[in-house]
Structure formats: C-alpha cells, structure tokens
Amino acid sequence: DAGITQSPRYKITETGRQVTLMCHQTWSHSYMFWYRQDLGHGLRLIYYSAAADITDKGEVPDGYVVSRSKTENFPLTLESATRSQTSVYFCASSEWYSSGNTIYFGEGSWLTVV
C-alpha cells in the first residue's frame, strides 16, 4: 500500500528557476491538495483538485501552477522560484465518500530557494 509519494523529497534550486514537485497516489482518490507549511503559518492550501482536469486555487496560489491529467498524479510547478517559496510542501488526497472523509498526506518535499 504505497499511498501518496512525493518527489523529490529534498530540492535546492536557484531563484528564477522552474521547479516541479511530483505527487502520486495509489488510492484513486478524487480529491488532491497541495499545502505549504511554514513556521508560524501552519498548513496553507495552495491548490486543490476535485477530479482529473478540475483544479482550483486555494489560499496562496500565486507563483504556482498545477495540472491533473490523470487521477493519480498532481504535480505542482513553481514557474519562477523565489526565496519566499522556500518551504515544506505536502501533497494530500481525500475521498468524499470514504469512512471519515480523512485527508492523507505524503511525506513532504523540502524546497530551498537560494
């Protein structure tokens, strides 16, 4: 039971570069999410997706792009990385009808922009 896998787990990139964080889930959950976690802010929603080809902005979407051509994949792209995007990024998934409607998280991707 692989669950949700994120890659890369750790990434250092330079300001202005494009970076893509990958997320893959094996449960066929309809919902997928990207959160960022910063000290003092807890978890903030970047983008979410209710199904393949259905995505929408969350709380802090600026500077990010997502796509969801397949149910199981939900990549997050930083088009031109900035230092303020240094953070830990969590991909998550959920299914509305499942018992408890629980949200499940990947292990996180640590991104440093220098």
- Transcribe 57-88 into DSSP letters: E-SS-TTEEE--SSTTB--EEESS--GGG-EE
Residue of 10, 26, 53, 56 that binds another protein (CB under 8 A): 56
Residue of 7, 30, 71, 86 that binds another protein (CB under 8 A): 30
Q: Does 89 bind another protein (CB under 8 A)?
A: no
Q: Does 26 bind another protein (CB under 8 A)?
A: no
Smallest distance, another protein to C-beta of residue 4, A: 10
CB environment 28-41: b (16+ within 10 A), e (fewer)? ebbbbbbbbeeeee
C-alpha span between 60 and 88 (Å, rounded): 14
List interacting residues with another protein (CB under 8 A): 30-31, 33, 37, 40-43, 45, 48, 50-51, 54, 56, 88, 90, 92, 94, 96-97, 100-105, 107-108, 110
